[in-house]
């Protein structure tokens, strides 16, 4: 009879050990070992397997199956998923505590009413707590079934007996399996439970959404292999003290990974933001120095975002640089380019940068806007109202070409902007039928001169 035992495997390099080690002797990573089940079979002559019905065939001979999708009831979520929930898919949703994961999932459960039963498994909250949230959100779906359980064997049995259309597991870190001695939430438990849920749900064509906690680094807790096991990985992002939330897809086997969905957290739950640009710049009434509007692309959607900068004389020996919603190292690089290429003396200035609305943007196309707002704050000169700025900045001060320029300019035109500063190489590709004034620049010296003329 087969004997079960466990070994410890390094999550980084795959090194195996009979006992847990704090440091991997192969790759040197710390705290990377997780427990894994192995099965030892009796020694004997291996049986020859019948490969007659499993021989390799030509790829072109296979008939592709039609992908069956179900709408979540949220256009923004469907956009991120590539058109809706795919039957039998396994989706991992991550986010910081209190960001709104459980609220969004409960609203999805309500929107899919009439399409079959929904099984909501919670290992964190009781039925009374879920019912209080459901009443606050106005949930009316009678097909939602609740199971407060952390034993994965009981959960799997319930899935098999009920055969629901949609399964929610909130959260994967609270589930445990008796086959492993590790505590619930450990790397080995998370990996084994996800594997069991995947086998049960995929064999029956049941769509499953797993909610996962994130670490302090912002990654989903558990081994990285967990993200490789599932079909789709979504992150719900946003600052806790801001009402805006961004649903971002970082992996999707059934669609693009570049799309985002925007929501606003209200008392009645998550509400969709169909025109993010209008919302993000709506509170910009006057035009003080150190602010401008930039254009960023998230997936296929152009976003107009307000950037704010503040420069002030440093009282310390080393000037301070702070960035909120933008990469700190990129900000330091752009400040160095400003000092070197146009002689702006920022060596004794503290520089603070903020992207309004609590969102995070790392796209290089906002580089020129950051250069402009820092110069605007230092010179105490406002950037002309109705101007949108876009372009990537290189180390030599050149303004480089950006992608999807037509979508960005059309969005600026739709929102009523009067002028648009873009890379000169992009201007050659545009037609002359736009209502706003398009200004091409080749380097930051030329850009600063045309902005503050």
> What secondary structure, in 3-state letters, does 141-172 show?
CCCEEEEECCEHHHHHHHHHHHCCCEEEEECH
**Would you state the pLDDT for residue 282?**
67
This prediction's pTM: 0.76
**Would you state the pLDDT for residue 45?**
42
Q: First-to-last CA distance in the chain?
A: 85
Q: Tell me the average pLDDT of the chain.
A: 86
Q: How many whole angstroms separate alpha carbon 277 and alpha carbon 286?
A: 17
Of 247, 223, 294, the C-alpha closest to 29 is 223
Which residues of the chain have a pLDDT value below 70? 1-4, 11-14, 37-54, 64, 215-225, 282-285
- With respect to CATH, is domain 279-451 assigned 3.30.230.10? yes
**Would you state the pLDDT for residue 52?**
56
Q: What is the CATH number of domain 69-273?
A: 3.40.50.300
**Would you state the pLDDT for residue 267?**
85
**Would you state the pLDDT for residue 173?**
84
**Would you state the pLDDT for residue 43?**
45
**pLDDT tens per residue across span 166-200:** 999 988 888 888 887 777 777 778 888 888 999 99
**Would you state the pLDDT for residue 1?**
42
Residue 151 and residue 176 in contact, taking contact as beta carbons nearer than 8 Å: yes
Q: Count the Cβ atoms, other than its own, within 10 Å of residue 172.
A: 27
What share of the chain has pLDDT > 70, as a percent?
90
DSSP 8-state code for residue 365: G
**Would you state the pLDDT for residue 290?**
94
């Amino acid at each position: 009879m087969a004997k079960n035992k466990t070994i410890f495997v390094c999550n980084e390099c795959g090194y195996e050990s009979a006992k847990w080690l704090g440091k991997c002797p192969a790759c040197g990573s710390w705290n990377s070992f997780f427990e894994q089940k192995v099965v030892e079979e009796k020694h004997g002559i291996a049986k020859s397997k019948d490969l007659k019905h499993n021989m390799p065939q030509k790829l072109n001979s296979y008939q592709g199956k039609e992908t069956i999708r179900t709408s979540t009831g949220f256009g923004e979520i469907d956009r991120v998923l590539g058109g809706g929930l795919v039957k039998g898919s396994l989706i991992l949703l991550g986010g910081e505590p209190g960001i709104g994961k459980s609220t969004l999932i409960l609203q999805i459960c309500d929107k899919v009413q009439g399409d079959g039963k929904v099984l909501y498994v919670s290992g964190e909250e009781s039925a009374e707590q879920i019912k209080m949230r459901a009443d606050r959100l106005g949930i009316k779906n009678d097909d939602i079934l609740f199971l407060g359980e952390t034993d994965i064997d009981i959960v799997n049995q319930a899935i098999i007996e009920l055969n629901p259309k949609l399964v929610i597991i909130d959260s994967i870190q609270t589930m445990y399996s008796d086959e492993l001695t590790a505590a619930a939430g450990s790397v080995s438990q998370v990996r084994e439970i996800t594997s069991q849920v995947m086998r049960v749900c995929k064999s029956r064509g049941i769509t499953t959404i797993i909610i996962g906690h994130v670490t302090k680094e912002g990654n989903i807790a558990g081994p990285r292999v967990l993200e490789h096991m599932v079909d789709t990985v979504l992150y719900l992002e946003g600052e806790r003290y801001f009402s805006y939330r961004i649903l971002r897809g970082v992996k999707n086997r059934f669609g693009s990974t570049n799309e985002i969905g925007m929501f606003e957290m209200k008392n009645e739950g998550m509400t969709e933001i169909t025109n993010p640009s209008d919302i993000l710049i709506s509170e910009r009434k006057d035009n003080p120095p150190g602010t401008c509007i930039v254009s960023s692309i998230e997936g296929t959607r152009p976003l107009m975002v307000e950037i704010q900068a503040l420069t002030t004389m440093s009282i310390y020996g080393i000037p301070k640089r702070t960035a909120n919603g933008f990469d700190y190292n990129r900000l330091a690089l752009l400040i160095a380019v400003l000092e070197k290429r146009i002689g702006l003396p920022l060596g004794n200035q503290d520089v603070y940068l903020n992207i309004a609305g609590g969102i995070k943007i790392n796209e290089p196309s906002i580089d020129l806007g950051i250069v402009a707002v820092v110069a605007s704050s230092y010179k105490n000169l406002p950037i002309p109202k109705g101007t949108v700025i876009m372009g990537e900045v290189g180390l030599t001060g050149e303004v480089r070409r950006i992608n999807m320029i037509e979508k960005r300019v059309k969005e600026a035109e739709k929102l009523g902007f009067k002028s648009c500063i873009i890379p000169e190489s992009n201007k050659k590709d545009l037609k002359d039928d736009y209502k706003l004034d398009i200004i091409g620049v080749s380097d930051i010296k030329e850009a600063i001169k045309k902005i503050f003329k």
